[in-house]
Amino acid sequence: MHITILTIFPEMFTSFLSESMIGRAIAQGLLTVDCVDLRPFSDRKHKNTDDDPFGGGAGMVMLAQPIVSAMESVAPGGEGARRIFLSPRGETLTQRKAESLAKEAHLVLLCGHYEGVDQRAIDLCIDEELSIGDYVLTGGEPAAMVLVDCIARLVPGVLGCADSAVDESFSSGLLEYPQYTRPRVFQGLSVPEVLLNGNHAEIVKWRRREALRITRERRPDLLAGVELTEAERGMMAEWDAENDER
């Protein structure tokens, strides 16, 4: 998978791309990420990349020209690339969306700044707008990092163990069950007995039950998209009845 990031602050990505899992994935060649500085693409004398908004108002707007020129240089005609503008107006990123983007060969991510980007750049060379949530950042760089991080861990080989991406929060449609590691007792709190006895079937059952319990408590909206067995439906009904009694 190849990702190109168009930004006026390429240095912001230096440690993000060199440390931890992302750093390792890049070192192993599972992922290539290029940060392309928009400034050199500006045809203005002082290489500006923004100007005042037509119609007035606060803040600056990023010029269309450097963006369109940079885009043409990294993905001519948009061939073979999915060109994404990180923007609070976009579709909200979800695990499903990340899974579908992880199948693309080349992603180009445009990071906005200031008040935003001249609409004509979006009209001319963006395939879709993507938001990382209902809040506003000062720039698209942190959003691009969130997207790269979330997609990278879905690229085969990036996570240590092939199935560690399978049964975690959101992949199964449920939030994740609680995790424990050594020691068995910490500050008087013990690890649930079932996790210590080596009975794999019991452990799977306990984890599924805990995932259902936590999802029901915190994000009941997610349950609508989850297939439940007859027994699980019964268990949930019992929990509901217990709740009603209280």
Q: Which residues in this chain contact ligand SAH in the complex, by CB under 6 A?
A: 86-89, 111-113, 115-117, 131-133, 135-137, 139-140, 143
Cβ-based nearer residue to ligand SAH, 140 or 211? 140
> Closest distance between ligand SAH and the C-beta of residue 53, in Å?
10
Tell me whether residue 108 or residue 143 sits nearer to ligand SAH (CB atom): 143
Closest to ligand SAH by CB, 82 vs 207, is 82
C-alpha distance from residue 47 to each of 92, 124, 139 (Å)? 33, 21, 19
Across-strand partners of 51?
A: 61
99 vs 115 by CB, closer to ligand SAH: 115
The pair of three-digit structure tokens given for residue 193, joined into one six-digit string: 């007995």
Contact assessment for residue 206 and residue 192, using Cβ atoms and an 8 Å cutoff: yes
Closest approach, Cβ 52 to ligand SAH, in A, equals 14
Comparison of 111 and 154: residue with beta carbon closer to ligand SAH: 111
Backbone angles phi, psi at 58, to 5 degrees: -75, 155
Cβ closest to ligand SAH, residue 47 vs residue 89:
89
Q: Please give the backbone phi and psi of residue 36, each rounded to the nearest 5 degrees, phi first.
A: -110, 125
Burial bucket for residue 17 (CB in 10 Å: 0-12, 13-18, 19+): buried
CB of 136 to ligand SAH, least distance (A): 5
Minimal distance, residue 146 CB to ligand SAH, in Å: 8
Least distance in angstroms from the C-beta of 59 to ligand SAH: 7
Rounded CA-CA distance 222/214 in Å is 11
Write the DSSP string, 157-202. TSSSSGGGGTSSTTTTSSPPPP---S-SEETTEEPPGGGTS--HHH
How near is the Cβ of 112 to ligand SAH at its closest, in Å?
A: 2
With CB atoms as reference, the residue minimizing the distance to ligand SAH is 112
The pair of structure tokens assigned to 68 is 């369109």
